[in-house]
Amino acid sequence: MALIQFTNKGIYCKQGNFYIDPWRPVELAVTTHGHADHVKWGNKAYLCHDLTKPILNQRLGEDLHIETLPYGKEININGVKVSLFPAGHVIGSAQIRLEYKGEICVVSGDYKTENDGISTDFEPVKCHTFVSESTFGLPIYKWQPQVAIFDQIRDWVSGNHDRNKTSVLVAYSLGKAQRLIKGLAGYDDLYVHNSIANLNDRFIQAGVDLPNTIRITADTTKDDLQKGIVIVPPALAEGRWIKNLHNAATGVCSGWMQVRASRRWRSADAGFALSDHADWPGLLSAIKATEAEKVFVTHGYTATFSKYLNEIGIESEEVKTQYGNEEEEENAELHADTEHKTQEGTA
Amino acid sequence: MRRFSELIQQLEMSNKTNDKIAALVDYFTEADDLDKPYVIAMFTGKKPRRPVATALIKQWAIELSGIPEWLFAESYHSVGDLSETIALVLPPANHKTNRKLHEWIQDLADLQGKDDDYKKQFIESAWNSLETQERFIFNKLISGNFRIGVSNKMLVNALAKQSDTESSKVMHSIMGKWQPWEISYADLLAGAHVNTDNSWPYPFCLAYALEAEPASLGPVTDWQAEWKWDGIRGQIVKRNGELFIWSRGEELVTDQFPELHFLLDELPDGTVLDGEILSVKDGQVQAFSILQQRLNRKTINKSQLNDAPIGFYTYDLLEYEGRDLRTDDLNLRRQLLEKTIGRLKTTNIVILSPVVSFDTWDELAEIRQGARDINSEGIMLKKLDSFYHSGRKRGDWWKWKINPYTVDTVMIYAQKGSGRRANFFTDYTFAVRDGDKLITIAKAYSGLTDKEIKEVNAFVVKNAIEKFGPVRTVKPELVFEIAFEGIAESKRHKAGLALRFPRIARWRKDKKADEINTLDDLRQLLQSTLS
């Protein structure tokens, strides 16, 4: 019997009686990482990496039953050996390794193969069955090394300073924001939106070595922001707040920025193809390194990517899941947050 | 090439005209002098002959990238641009080159007539020496299709600013006949070629659409009204014993209209007429659909000459006895125009476009209602004391068109757009009712806001019935009002007729699919335009 099944609640391990990244409430949710499309509120218990716990507490609430594990340590759930390995996606992100009677299965969640210096470096794990994402599963997606992209971002910021523009970088609060902070530390003062600052505080409490940032408050002046670099989540990128800044120039940091049409669609002033997902060569090398006999392809270019894997002799199947909407989910969260505040304000 | 590639990136990144002009000014200040005329040629649509067929380029890119053809097709579909897809799928460059833009263009031109193996070797070695963005530029050089949102006007303004020259003079200079390899940037902007070229036309004066009530224009006595004709804007140049006919696209169309060649004998040297090329039969202007039979043909047969004889309705005089009249006022230009036309011996082919006389704006509004009866699109309003401007300028010339025709249709197919819209269903096909069937009547993609596009996109995703490659058949439910300028018989279309300039006027969320127009409604409309 297969070690995992794809059900309408999420990925289920019958032998262990738990789910991995379920989208409906269950008893035990083994969680790959803290993005909203992979972890929902309402599960009885959560199992995740040590550094994903502060994220869940920030996003879902303090009153949760959460067990944690460091990378590499194995526990036994109803006879299934469960351990976590670095996925390199965001801080705390993990591939879930399951072993039962010699059969090994790895559910990778979201992952990237380039070491970003802040999420622990991706570690390939040998297995029989591998579950892979395919967000950028087309050969047009080949990332430049992040060093080169950070150079481009610094050049852009310096050009903005020359023209008295305020540099606003648009990045997910979880993952991309911390990566930017690490990569741009010391270059300029970094001003971050509340949603990013809250997560940063949690990370620092949990012992993550994160460079200093400044939380944007009502007292922060537009002049301060113009002199530094502003980092905000996508929900704020097109809002009134940005229009009120001095001469804002927005730079979107996302793998989608690889393609001109997406750059223009986002109507940003600049696009940087900086992604927390594996690119085409990254997906292929990660999958080959697992030596898996069977690969399940979830969210992204699922049909295309699994067709290609089959053609190159790796047995593969596409699977429908509810993953892959991290931006929409994060935006919904923020909008709810903002509405909430407005209501408080008028009350 | 690197500097040009940077320019393209800057132009693409900004949607503000001032930023684009600043980027162009910087470019024309810093770039290699020999590159500049090529860039001007490219941005004004002067295309060299394509040295290598698209199919070959695609085939070589697939080979070199080592991916299957279907995967290349999927990638292309997601990117929406062939040059860019190729640039992205190829393996990284393995060496560097510093070749300049004009050297690349010349190399490509030299490929003409070479065999495919030679071409392949050249293209592959170029790809292997260029980074992604430069590769994209290189591929665009092969196709010659640069569409990056730089209008002629924007380019002219940037060149004028960069060279501290008057913009009308720059526009003047970059029109007409010149070749980027023959002329320096400085000579081009100074117009060195212009004085020796007989064919050289003036930039057309263009009108804005009148959105306000005409009463806002002030006293009627300041204005001249003419019919707005629905044909091809044309400029007829007679200098030093030569005759040239230019269309508004800055294209020489002299050979297409033999009916006008008598002007070679009858117009004095140093004369330039502005007006509309129309089909005129028995003294009546015919519908645009009839003129269409005469456009873009290499040869013209007798029946075409019979069915769609050409006339030229002239309304302005730009050069008289060799003198540039553009800074004289319309009053004077009209007098000299009437004099010039009055001297022609052949009287029924080149005709003075009549001045419409009126005493009040209300009276003119009433006259305008009769425009369709004479195959006119409405009224042109020109200020009597105005100069002949270069390009579009607000204030002196207005077009006051009658409202377009409209038809209510239902959407039956949707397709993803290209470029900026590559990831959304933005291109729609619309149908009207024919008995109990639906019959395709138009394809349109403009006229919706980004928000509406997203809404329609969501509908398409949810209600797709069938998938034919990029096309989705959708449940016939969404009703759109389509506006169009004209209607013509068409053997190529299943409906037997074709709409001119169809575009989405409104999304009729208030209407249901059974309330749309029928094919008979449109047939009746067609008959009324032909009689």
Facing residue for B79 by CB, picked from A140, A265, A269:
A140
* Structural domains for chain B: 2-143 (1.10.3260.10), 205-401 (3.30.470.30), 405-530 (2.40.50.140)
**Residue A74 and residue A94: Cα distance in Å, rounded?**
13
Asked if pLDDT for residue B70 goes beyond 50, the answer is: yes
Residue of A162, A260, A310 to mutate when probing chain B, most B C-beta within 10 A: A260
Question: Which among B70, B74, B423 is the nearest to A261, CB-wise?
Answer: B423
Separation between Cα atoms, residue B250 and residue B257, nearest integer Å: 16
For residue B481, the cross-strand partners are B408, B506
Residue A264 with chain B: CB contacts under 8 Å: 12, 15, 419-420
Specify the CATH number for A146-272; select among 3.30.2350.10, 3.40.50.2020, 3.40.50.10710, 3.90.180.10: 3.40.50.10710
pTM value is 0.72
- Closest-CA residue to B502 (of B522, B519, B486, B526): B486
DSSP-assigned letters across all residues of B24-58: HHHHHHHS-TTHHHHHHHHHTT-PPPPSS-HHHHH
Q: How far apart are CA A134 and CA A271, in angstroms?
A: 21
A140 CB near a chain B CB, below 8 Å? yes
Kindly identify which residue of chain B lies nearest to residue A265, measuring between CA atoms.
B420
CB contact under 8 A, A261 and B12: no
Phi, psi for residue B87 in degrees, rounded to 5? -60, -35
B238 is catalytic: no
Q: In the A/B pair of chains, how many CB contacts fall below 8 A?
A: 64
- pLDDT mean over B303-324: 94
Chain B: give the shortest CA distance to residue A260, in Å: 7
Q: Give pLDDT, residue B173.
A: 81
Can you tell me the distance from the alpha carbon of A47 to that of A306, in angstroms, rounded to the nearest whole number?
A: 29
Q: What is the dihedral of CA B84, B85, B88, B94, to 10 degrees?
A: -90
Task: Determine the Cα angle at A218 with ends A212 and A223, to 5°.
Answer: 70
The least confident of A60-64, B180-184, B401-405 is: B401-405
CA pair distance A211, A196, nearest whole angstrom:
13
Element holding B337 (H helix, E strand): helix B330-342
A117 touching chain B per CB within 8 A? no
For the beta carbon of residue B377, count every other beta carbon within 10 angstroms: 20
Average model confidence (pLDDT) across chain A: 90
Q: Where are the beta strands (DSSP E) in B167-222?
A: 205-206, 208-209
Q: What is the DSSP string of B266-311?
A: HSPSSEEEEEEEEEEETTEEPPHHHHGGGTT-SS--HHHHHHS-EE
Dist CA B451 CA B144 (whole Å):
33
Please state which of the ranges A316-320, B163-167, B324-328, B517-521 shows the lowest mean pLDDT: B163-167
Whether pLDDT at A338 is above 70: no
* The two structure tokens encoding residue B407: 């038809």
Q: How far is B105 from chain A (nearest CA, A)?
A: 23
* Nearest-by-Cβ selection for B12 from A258, A264, A301: A264
**What is the predicted pLDDT for the residue at A336?**
43
Output the pLDDT for position A21: 96
For residue A311, the chain B residue with the least C-alpha distance is B68
CB < 8 Å to B89, chain A:
139-140
Per-residue pLDDT band at A242 (split at 50, 70, 90) = confident
Q: State how far the alpha carbon of B82 is from the alpha carbons of A111, A168, B143, B162, in Å.
A: 29, 32, 10, 33
Instruction: Please provide the DSSP assignment of B235-259 as one string.
Output: EEEEETTEEEEEETTTEE-GGG-GG
**Is any Cβ of chain A less than 8 angstroms from the Cβ of B71?**
yes
pLDDT digits (tens, 9 = 90+) for B343-364: 999 989 999 999 999 999 999 9
Active-site residue (options: B36, B100, B119, B228): B228
Taking Cα atoms as reference points, which of A177, A156, A173, A208 lies closest to residue A51? Answer: A208
Query: What's the CA gap between B365 and A243, in Å, rounded?
Result: 43
∠ CA A8-A10-B465 to the nearest 5 degrees?
45
Delimit the CATH 3.60.15.10 region(s) of chain A. Answer: 5-140+276-346
The complex scores an ipTM of 0.90
Q: Do B92 and A142 touch (CB under 8 A)?
A: yes
Tell me the chain A residues in contact with residue B133 when contact means C-beta distances shorter than 8 Å.
none
CA distances from A271 to A259, A264, B101, B132 (A): 9, 9, 25, 15
CB–CB contact A264 B79 (8 Å)? no
CB-CB neighbors (< 8 A) of A138 in chain B: 71, 74-75, 78
Answer yes or no: are the C-beta atoms of A173 and A212 closer than 8 Å: no
Q: Which residues, at least 6 apart from B436, have a Cβ–Cβ distance to it below 8 Å?
A: none
Q: Which of residues 234-263 of A touch B (CB under 8 A)?
A: 258-263
Task: Check CB contact of B449 with chain A, cutoff 8 Å.
Answer: no
Q: What per-residue confidence (pLDDT) applies to A326? A: 60
3-state helix/strand/coil string of A20-56: ECCCCCCCEEECCCCCCCCCCCCCCEEEEECCCHHHH
The phi-psi region of residue B364 (left if phi > 0; otherwise alpha if psi is between -120 and 50; otherwise beta) is alpha
A269–B84 CB contact, under 8 Å: no
In chain A, where does the domain assigned CATH 3.40.50.10710 lie?
146-272
> From CA B424, how far away is CA B414, in angstroms rounded?
10
Contacts with B378 (C-beta within 8 Å, 6 or more apart), sequence order: B227, B228, B368, B371, B399, B400, B401, B402
CA distance A118 to B515: 60
Average pLDDT over residues A318-339: 60
Class of domain A5-140+276-346: alpha beta
The tens digit of pLDDT for each residue in A218-237 reads: 899 999 999 999 999 988 87
